[in-house]
Amino acid sequence: MNDETPRARLRFANAAISGIVTTVGEKTVRFEEEGPALGLEPGEIARLQRAIGLDSRQIVAGGETTVDLCEASARRLLAGLGVAAETVTGLILVTQTPDHSAPASAIALQHRLGLPVTSMAFDVRLGCSGFVYGLALAYSLVEAGLERVLVAVGDVASRFVDAADHAVAPIMGDAGAVALVERRPSESVFELYSDGSGGRALYIPNSGIRVDPADEGRASVMTMDGAAVFNFTLQRVPDLVTGIVEAAGRTVDEIDYFVLHQPNKYILKNIQKRLRIAEEKLPMATQSVYGNQNSASIPGTISGFLGDAYSNRRLVSAFAGFGIGLSWGACVVETDRIYAPPAFVGLE
């Protein structure tokens, strides 16, 4: 694509993040312990630990859902900021694991949080790009007149994988994160992309109304074409990141942190080398500690590893999400000493 190609580029001057809270599942699963049950030999377990950073992940221990995790995060966020629920008039829930097919889980979450009936609430069905997309929507609503919008993102991903699939199951973690976007002067730019021709690279067959003949009899669990996902990532993400930095009128050196979706350390290391970004500016450990948190992985990385920096400094950050859809997006945003406590484990 060249500069003349029409694109979904959004610029904002009056919206900013005030705080981020992430809640992860309370059960810790260690790869070295689950590997044998997946049919993996000790040597293969050690190789995967080294190559892609598989170590531990956090998943729900019982019947907790994405809405439960996001409710816990939202309550902690509003309390930490001293913001009354009655003053929030927008709620966006980005998830692939809603409580029900209908009605929208965001509306249930609005009620549970005590947001007023004069607020708007809706679901967005996206995965790894979901935080950037959700932020873009929230910034749009604030720029258009709302004062405060909650962006809730996450999945109980352990529920949509085959527990015996050693290619997918050991990767997934469960998390629900919430960010509060408020009206205040702040410059930001977003770019959003989609390519449905790659939809089967990450895919849950027989999970809706349509049943394709090729999927008859298949279980409704996540399937992954690892090679296609890897190629997509290396083809799209470096240009995505350099493009959003240029669109923001910045240089790489002017970006304090590059917080990317966290599929695994191997992919992130390849991106970091291609972009020549200093390692301390691009965190890579989220998947190794919490698992792949899907749409919650960007806020989850901030909560897990960067909370002190975001709480105590004015920062310019590049966020980038990419994956299932295929869908990808990035933004450059300014934050100024936001509420960003360490990740919470469990609902209590």
264 annotated active-site: no
Catalytic residue among 261, 264, 294, 331: 261
Nearest to 117 by CA among 89, 151, 77: 89
Say how many domains are in the chain.
Answer: 1
Q: Which is the catalytic residue, given 70, 166, 292, 294?
A: 292
Residue-by-residue pLDDT tens, the chain, 348 positions = 566 688 899 999 999 999 999 999 999 999 999 889 888 889 988 988 888 888 999 999 999 999 999 999 999 999 999 999 999 999 999 999 999 999 999 999 999 999 999 999 999 999 999 999 999 999 999 999 999 999 999 999 999 898 888 888 899 999 999 999 999 999 999 999 999 999 999 989 889 899 889 888 899 998 899 899 999 999 999 999 999 999 999 999 999 999 999 998 889 999 999 999 999 999 999 999 999 999 999 999 999 999 999 999 999 999 999 999 999 999 999 999 999 999 999 998
Instruction: Map residue 125 onto helix, strand or coil.
Output: coil
Q: Is 261 a catalytic residue?
A: yes
Beta-carbon contacts of residue 59 (< 8 Å; ≥ 6 apart): 25, 27, 29, 156, 158, 172, 173, 174, 291
CATH, residue 130: 3.40.47.10
Overall size of the chain counted in residues = 348
Q: Is 344 helix (H, G, I), strand (E, B) or coil?
A: strand
The range of the structural domain enclosing residue 68 comes to: 1-348
At 226, is the secondary structure helix, strand, or coil?
helix
Catalytic residue among 128, 166, 264, 331: 128
Q: Could you confirm whether 166 is annotated as catalytic?
A: no
Q: What share of the chain is helix, strand, coil (3-state, %, to 5)?
A: 40, 25, 35
pLDDT digits (tens, 9 = 90+) for 210-227: 988 988 889 999 889 989
Residue owning tokens 């919008």: 149
What is this structure's pTM?
Answer: 0.96
